[in-house]
Amino acid sequence: DAGVIQSPRHEVTEMGQEVTLRCKPISGHNSLFWYRQTMMRGLELLIYFNNNVPIDDSGMPEDRFSAKMPNASFSTLKIQPSEPRDSAVYFCASSPTLESTEAFFGQGTRLTVV
């Protein structure tokens, strides 16, 4: 398996633009997690899904952030409109179940909002 695949690896966008980050979890994994990594706040869990259903989105910072998982092999994290303070590395992770004791991380998307 190729592991968790995120795209794009790097994204530079202007303030106010919509940004969509994409994630393909490992085949057969039923749980998917979105994390954000910043210098100021470290690694934060934003939202997670189980069997394509959002379970907890309490980590999503603002209404400008939304996430979807239309099927078992694809998830998106959208920011609209984007702001400079959204600049961060966004990681997607998947695991076989919510109770699994290992998360498999993608390589991340480095987002820069100018």
Partner 1 sequence: AQSVTQLDSQVPVFEEAPVELRCNYSSSVSVYLFWYVQYPNQGLQLLLKYLSGSTLVKGINGFEAEFNKSQTSFHLRKPSVHISDTAEYFCAVSRNAGNMLTFGGGTRLMVKP
**Cβ closest to partner 1, residue 47 vs residue 113:** 47
Centre a 10 Å sphere on the Cβ of residue 101 and count the other Cβ atoms it contains.
7
Closer CB to partner 1, residue 45 or residue 81? 45
Within 10 angstroms of residue 50's Cβ, the number of other Cβ atoms is 16
Output the smallest distance, CB 81 to partner 1, in A: 27
CA gap 32, 51 in Å, rounded? 9
Of 55, 78, 52, the C-alpha closest to 66 is: 78
Q: Which residue ranges make up the site for partner 1 (CB under 8 A)?
A: 4, 31, 33, 42-45, 48, 56, 91, 93, 95, 97-103, 105-108
Closest distance to partner 1 from the beta carbon of 110 (Å): 9
